[in-house]
Amino acid sequence: MAKVKVEEFQGNLRLRWSLKGVRHCITLGLADSPRNRLIAQMKADDIDRDIALGQFDSTLVKYKPEYESRQNIKVVDLFEKFIHAKSKEIYAQSLVKYHATLGYLKQFFREQQARTVDLDRADRFRQWLSERILPNTGKPMSATTLKERIGLVSACWDFAIEEKLLEVNPWQKIYKGVKPGKTPPPKPFTVEEIKAIIAGFRCDPNYSYYSDYVEFMLGTGCRPGEAIALRWKHVADDCSSVWIGEAYYRGSLKPTKTEASGTIPMSKSLRELLLRRKAAGVDPEDLVFPRKSGGYLIDRDFRQRPWTKVLAKLSIPYRKPYSTRSTLISYWLAQGEDPAVVAKMTRTSVKMIFQHYAGAIKSRVVLPDLIDLFEQPD
């Protein structure tokens, strides 16, 4: 009859035995100690008894402790599980930073189990990551990016705790200790640049097709993916307003970024633009700004060719197409509009407006003249 043996392997206990020519091994996830050896021997006796009674579970599921299959998950496997869960909630664009973080975790932790990551090990990863030289810049990552990466790992551990895969999160303290760098405010296009960009696209022999799309983004401040997803059924019959509630990015159509849909009024020029496009005859399901060959515009292709080349011809310093959004928000605030109104019309939060566009907010508050305050009549 087979005899299950308790063995020590790399500081942990495991069970090994052979039955009918087949070797079996179960890692218990227990450190080698007198107390844990008693626990391991009890498990070995259970298996021996099942073999003797003809009740042996050849799948071994019966003998694996609950924590082995769940709590022994590796760092890399855990983060991949986290990415899979997040992929159902956020845009593919946002997942790029998750996959970048996964690459660093693979390099540093390799086969390490997540439950063995303590505060010291987490801090070593932070230090290692802060010293990595990025191939695209030849410099270490910024403090802002470092904090973002550590924040994602901490969020992963919170996810694991909710899923009962782990019990503690050592990354919370590490995250709080990373001081974020100062992010420069978005640089909007000037009025002259806006006019030049619109005219540049309209006159370009290769890229005039995109001129309406560009003018619409500059005039509404909507995200590129929102303009790409816009269909005629989302446009009022008289083109006086449009409903924004969906966004398309890299093959997926989802609710707009903050999941806050909204109807925005069109200016006179944008209304005329839409009426002109609609006059050609459209179906409610047709895209308002499709690509030439039909279907959704590919934002990456637009950015790399039409957008980059037109800006270069105009000698305008490059900014991403997303800068059309920050441009409208900045000018709107500079004109004295209530930040709450701007947030509502651009479907974002007031907190975000103050966090990223505080410098553009036109204050109506005038500080009192201290001299006048302290001057007393004789």
Quick one: three-class SS letters along 339-367?
Answer: HHHHHHHCCCCHHHHHHHHHHHCCCCCCC
Pairing of strands 262-265, 12-19: unpaired
Q: Specify the pLDDT at position 70.
A: 60
- Report how far residue 159's alpha carbon sits from residue 166's, in angstroms, rounded to the nearest whole number: 9
- Tokens, residue 241: 């307003």
- Tens digits of pLDDT across the chain (378 residues): 568 999 998 888 999 999 888 888 988 878 889 888 998 898 999 899 989 888 888 878 778 765 455 667 899 999 999 999 998 777 677 788 999 999 999 999 999 999 999 999 999 999 999 999 888 778 899 898 999 999 999 999 999 999 888 889 999 999 999 987 666 666 889 999 999 999 999 999 999 999 999 999 999 989 999 999 999 999 999 999 999 988 888 777 887 755 567 898 999 999 999 999 998 789 999 999 999 999 999 998 999 999 999 999 999 999 999 999 989 888 888 888 888 888 888 888 888 888 777 666 665 544 444 454 455 555
Return the pLDDT at 361.
Answer: 62
Q: Which residues of 165-182 are buried (b: 16+ CB within 10 A; e: fewer)?
A: bbeebbbbebbeebeeee
CB atoms within 10 A of CB 296: 17
Structural domains of the chain ordered from first start:
5-70 (no CATH), 75-177 (1.10.150), 191-360 (1.10.443.10)
pLDDT at 71: 61
Largest Cα separation within the chain, whole Å, is: 112
Do 235 and 242 meet the contact criterion of CB atoms below 8 Å apart?
yes
**pLDDT tens track for 30-65:** 888 988 899 889 899 989 998 988 888 887 877 876
What residues pair up with 243 in beta bridges, in sequence order?
263
- pLDDT of 114 reads 94
**254 and 246 Cβ atoms separated by less than 8 Å:** yes
